[in-house]
Amino acid sequence: MSTLTLREAPPERLDLLHINPLSLGALSQAEAERLEVGTSRRGVKLGDVFTVSLDRSGTLVIAGGHERLDRVGAALSEGTIVVEGDVGQRLGAGMAAGSLTVTGRAGPYAGSGATGGTITIEGDAGDYAGGAVYGAKTGLDGATLIVRGQAGDYCGDRMRKGTILVGGAGAYAGARMIAGTLAALEVGDLPGFGMRRGTLVTGRHGALAPTFVETGSHDLVFLRLLGRHLRALSEAHADLLARPLTRYSGDLATIAKGEIWVAG
């Protein structure tokens, strides 16, 4: 298990895009310490802020997090990263495979564009968790994103594929969804705003857009498959499907192939 131990608060935002088990495995300790991670002309290197201990294993632990650590695990393609603490924006953005766990909070855009693997945030997540960064075509794109705490607004915005599980989400959860599944114990106002396809499951929601129409209660085979899938990830979210469910179809302002299931 390789370890990066944060010695002090970073003097600036750090970009940890290339800091993962695969890339560190090819470097010596000294080479790793010289990796540029700063985002200003100061030229901050990995060894300037972290105590580096490498063993070429597939697991990297970042001991001591900070909200200035951006793009942690972004483009991860194999192996495991565990952050003991908080992270900044774009956690696991574009990640293709592997496992990424944050024990603290994450900033905005966690899991944006991630095509595979599992991202777990034990604390809260910022806005646009699993959502698209400005100008991007898609948010989460096949990966699994689990937020044990609360996610901010626009959770799952423009997500295209994959699964998001959140304890709670703010307004516009699943906005502009292209496809995929988002399950939240509760969401804020206007869930699924502008969604084209996709499934949103929730226990409680704020104001619903008038472009969603109730279709009633349905005992569908699909819900059994979804229940099995969710149960492997979170009992609490799977339990939502065991309750009486009301289905809303929408967003009728788009192609309206999306759905919101509300557990009673």
Partner 1 sequence: MSGVTSEPHPMSDLTLNGIRVIDTFAEAFDVAGTAIVVTNDTAKWAMIAATTMTGFATSVIGCGAEAGIDAVLGPDETPDGRPGVRILLFGFEPNGLKDQLIKRVGQCILTCPGTACYAGVDGPNKIKLGGAIRYFGDGFAIAKRMPDETGKERRYWRIPVMDGEFLCEDSVRAVEGAVGGGNLLFLGRTHAETLKVAEIAVEAAAAVPGAILPFPGGIVRSGSKVGGRTKGMMASTNDAYCPTLKGRAGSALPPECGVVLEIVIDALTSQGVAESMRAGLHAATAIGERHGLIAVTAGNYGGNLGRHHYHLRDLIAPAAGQEG
Q: Is 242 in the site for partner 1 (CB under 8 A)?
A: no
Q: What angle do CA 263, 143, 59 make, to 5 degrees?
A: 120
Q: Which of 110, 68, 98, 66 is nearest to 84 (CA)?
A: 66
Q: Which of 145, 206, 143, 144 is nearest to 173 (CA)?
A: 206
Binding partner 1 by CB under 8 A: which of 224, 242, 243, 252? Answer: 224
Q: Are 50 and 35 in contact (CB under 8 A)?
A: no
Q: Which amino acid is at 114?
A: A
Q: Is 234 in the site for partner 1 (CB under 8 A)?
A: no
**C-beta of 234: minimal distance to partner 1 in Å?**
14
Q: Is 199 in the site for partner 1 (CB under 8 A)?
A: yes
Q: Is 219 in the site for partner 1 (CB under 8 A)?
A: yes
Contacts with partner 1 in 25-54 (CB under 8 A)?
none
Q: Which stretch binds partner 1 (CB under 8 A): 72-80, 147-155, 203-211, 215-223?
A: 215-223
**C-beta of 225: minimal distance to partner 1 in Å?**
6
Q: How many residues bind partner 1 (CB under 8 A)?
A: 18
Binding partner 1 by CB under 8 A: which of 3, 39, 197, 236? Answer: 197
Other CB atoms within a 10 A radius of the CB of residue 87 amount to 31
Extract the tokens encoding 101. Answer: 């766990």
Binding partner 1 by CB under 8 A: which of 225, 242, 243, 252? Answer: 225
Q: Is 179 in the site for partner 1 (CB under 8 A)?
A: yes
**C-beta of 142: minimal distance to partner 1 in Å?**
9
Q: Are 20 and 60 in contact (CB under 8 A)?
A: yes
Q: Are 10 and 49 in contact (CB under 8 A)?
A: yes
Q: What angle do CA 9, 11, 12 make, to 5 degrees?
A: 115
Q: Is 148 in the site for partner 1 (CB under 8 A)?
A: no
The binding site for partner 1 (CB under 8 A) comprises 161, 179, 181, 197, 199, 218-222, 224-226, 228-229, 232, 257, 259
